[in-house]
Amino acid sequence: MINLPATRLFNQEKQRSGQRTGQRRFASMVRCAPACPRAVQLSGMGLPLRLLILLILLLTLLLPARAQVGQLPAMSAGQVSVSGLSSGAYMAVQFEVAFSATVTGAGIIAGGPYFCAQGSVYTATTRCSCTSELFACRVHPGGTRIADLIVLTDWFAADLAIDATSNLATHKVWLLSGSIDSVVPQPVMTDLFNYYRHYMPASQIVYRRTLPAEHGLPTDQYGNPCTHLGSPYINNCSYDAAGQLLQWIYGPLLARNSGPPAGRTLAFVQSEFLPFPTLHGMAAVGYLYLPPACEASAGAGCRLHVVFHGCLQDPNHIGSTFINHAGYNGWADTNRLMILYPQASATATNPQACWDWFAYDDPRYALKSGHQMAAIKRMVDRLTGVNPAILPAAPRCRPDRCT
């Protein structure tokens, strides 16, 4: 289990106490210290003494919390795969297709085809999902215009903006669509299945679509009832989605660790991979789950799986719930798997902390040169011992396509 940095606790307490309203009084107190009487210094912000003492204690906790956030360690893992839910599912598809020479497989829960939104919020919320509060849902079989998306994918690949699509032929893909998902209805996932079928044989794809699940990550031991729609968007469906997708991608695995975690969850700064990440919809801190065997070997003989959370599943919304309860870490402990949890964050144009699959930050969001895409690829390179590649020049985009 992990604990969030003490900064969040301090910020919450600061908001409750109304400290911001007293900043000017605090500034005048500092200017006269230490000449001010002791009583004035203690009450200069108009706060009760006990609350001031509590804030001081929280500040003392702040320093060790920051010290625990370091750099992502250099490792030498192999066999990279990805998975995700909802916006994380779209991000996983984007990453797999764009970096198909690096990734070997994907697990997609409640997502859609590559470049589904084509940079349009309207399309993202009416054709690729049913999330618009202004317009009616227009999801229907074939509604994502798969033929157009395939043409665009091939064009991006020809322009070297993404890896060659021929790499996808050897990937193993696992898809799950809840039969009662009201956010990303099943026709969208079926379009994704048909998109993949253009690039790989049916034998490489598993498509689960009979589980009576609402929009969320299905587990067999944690979460809301399976038919519930709501935070933290993890539902106990008596179905271990994380285990199923990992076993399809990597083949038979040893039984998961069902006890306390054996590994460590490391917090790392994401700004090393994307300057000013919070301006681009990525959080300041990301997480890596590292089982003992992989830590001891610096990743040698281990595999790397990247998990993209969905909207409203970042630490600011649900704390460490997704990292601790999505179901991946127990499998990692017993199967030499390293689990990378990159983190998105809310912005003015992305208040629900979704991943960028509809150009809220970057018009080239689905290409290798996209802000978030390139940042995560640098994380993967660090963990697999690969020297970061120089990205190709931006493609020559046609009007209304990628600009």
Active-site residue list = 86, 181, 215
Separation CA 219–CA 87 (nearest Å): 18
| Contact call for residues 359 and 117 (beta carbons, < 8 A) | yes
**CB 187: neighbour CB atoms within 10 A?**
17
Q: Would you say the C-alpha torsion 241, 147, 181, 306 has a positive or negative sign? A: positive
**Cis bond upstream, residue 73 (ω within 30):** no
Structure tokens belonging to residue 147: 């033929």
Separation CA 140–CA 247 (nearest Å): 31
| Contact call for residues 305 and 337 (beta carbons, < 8 A) | yes
Separation CA 392–CA 380 (nearest Å): 18
Q: Which amino acid is at 211?
A: L
| Contact call for residues 344 and 387 (beta carbons, < 8 A) | no
> Quick check: helix, strand or coil at residue 167?
helix
